[in-house]
Amino acid sequence: GIQVEQSPPDLILQEGANSTLRCNFSDSVNNLQWFHQNPWGQLINLFYIPSGTKQNGRLSATTVATERYSLLYISSSQTTDSGVYFCAVASKETSGSRLTFGEGTQLTVNP
């Protein structure tokens, strides 16, 4: 099945810093989503972005489908940005029924 790799696995920032999270995937996709999992376990939708670029406030994302990677940018980070960020994809060939998740990036923003 499709493989998803996220980097870095852990990231520690000072409040106000910028960061870039990366998601590499091994096959063509027709779905790519970025999620933020808060301390209570809820997966919050950040972006649905199988291709192209989107922005939402301090967050933006870019997916280069032909090169099989996606980037999530966080600018002017805040302590509330802390948590785990997941990338999840559905393979164009075998999608049908599932999203495949990466292992996540654990982000800690210190005041």
90 lies in the binding site for another protein (CB under 8 A): yes
28 lies in the binding site for another protein (CB under 8 A): no
72 lies in the binding site for another protein (CB under 8 A): no
Q: Could you tell me the two tokens for 72? A: 């999530």
45 lies in the binding site for another protein (CB under 8 A): yes
Contact 61, 51 (CB under 8 A): no
Of 14-22, 53-61, 73-81, 101-109: span binding another protein (CB under 8 A): 101-109
- Bridge partners (DSSP) listed for residue 23: 6, 70
Non-local CB neighbours of 27 within 8 Å, separated by 6+ positions: 2, 3, 68, 91, 92, 93
Binding site for another protein (CB under 8 A): 30-31, 33, 35, 40-43, 45, 48, 50, 86, 88, 90, 92, 95-104
